[in-house]
Each structure stands twice: as structure tokens, then as C-alpha cells.
Structure 1
């Protein structure tokens, strides 16, 4: 089964059962939460790159199949492409905010 380390499953049961009177997160807490999520996502991309190097080394010494190398490199390539697209969207949003007139 192929899994994506960048996207974590969301438990929708916990969202529907939320009490509207619960304390809302402050902007600082929300920023910290987003920063933590972003760091985990980037660490996942780095881990996939490291995995490609490990599988390549195993292939060179004959302990891995060429299919394993191709799968690992494809997963790393897709993760990097996703990261690049997210970065492009963030830069685009930042530029749009800078163009706003107050």
C-alpha cells in the first residue's frame, strides 16, 4: 500500500463533537501549530530523500531490486514536486498580500 507522509488523516469524529463554547486557539497558537505541521512535512520530504540514497546504496551492493529504487525515487520526486507547488502558492499569496492597498 502506498502512503503519503505529507498528508495525515483527519479524524472527523472529533470535529463534529466539538463544543462551540470551547476556548478557541489564539493566533500565536495557530501559527505555532502550522509551523509544527510544516516542519513535519519538510522532515518527511527529507526522510524520503534519505531513503532514496539508502535504497540506491542497497541496490549497488545487490540487496535491493531495481523496482525498489524506482518506487523510492518516484515517491521522493512526487513529495518534492508537492513541496515546490506549496512553496509557489505561499509566495504567490504573499505577493498578493503585498499588493493590497490599505
Structure 2
């Protein structure tokens, strides 16, 4: 089973501060931006890993199975990131359409 670690380890940090209700809006915004930055860095690292593994595959140092698993993980992470971006844009457009 392939596991995506894109969201691992970050959610408890956000929910802890929200549950305690001690975080200011600026702190929550900073934490959310750090979460997004970390997630994008992980997606980038997975893409770079696939490129390194494909080079090793050409040299015969990596099995095709390992390369395909890394490639699928990177693809799924990129698709997840794209869907999250689409939902954020959709939510923003919904907010902009609301009449006051």
C-alpha cells in the first residue's frame, strides 16, 4: 500500500492550538502558511527523488518496481496538491460572490 505523507504530522499542531483557543488569528495564519510551505516542499522533494531514481534506473542501480512506486507517489502528491488548490480557488470565488 502506498502512503502519502503530505499531510502527516501537521494536522495535530493546527487542531491543538484551535482547540485551546489561545492562538491569535495571526498565529493561525502563520501556522497555516508554514503548513502549505512544508507540503509544497514535500511534493517538490518527491519530484526530485523520482528524477534521481530514474537516473539510477538508467544506470541499473534501481529496480523498475522502486521507480514506479516513487513515480506514483509523486504523481498522487501532485494531484492532491492540484485538487487542494482548485478547492481553495473555488472557496475564494464563492466568498467573492457573496453579497453583503
TM normalised by structure 1 equals 0.84
Specify every segment of 5 or more residues in structure 2 that has no aligned partner in the other structure, as ranges: none
Task: Give the structure 2 partner of residue 52 of structure 1.
Answer: 50
Specify every segment of 5 or more residues in structure 1 that has no aligned partner in the other structure, as ranges: none
Bigger relative contact order, structure 1 or 2 (CA pairs below 8 A, ≥6 apart): 2
Task: Give the structure 1 partner of residue 7 of structure 2.
Answer: 7
Which is greater in Rg? 1
TM normalised by structure 2 equals 0.86
Q: How many pairs were matched up?
A: 96
Q: Over aligned residue pairs, what C-alpha RMSD do you find? A: 2.2
Structure 1 runs (4+) greater than 6 angstroms displaced? none
Q: Is the alpha carbon distance of 1:83 and 1:23 closer, same or farther for their aligned partners in structure 2, counting shifts above 3 Å? A: closer
Aligned to 1:86, the other structure's residue is in SS state helix
Task: Give the structure 2 partner of residue 35 of structure 1.
Answer: 33
Q: How far is the alpha carbon of 1:4 from its aligned partner?
A: 2.1
Q: Deviations over 1:26-49 (max 9, x none)?
A: 111000000000000000000000
Pairwise mapping of residues 1-102 of structure 1 onto structure 2 (< 5 A)?
2-9=2-9, 24-102=22-100
Q: How far is the alpha carbon of 1:23 from its aligned partner?
A: 6.1
Structure number having the greater helix percentage = 2
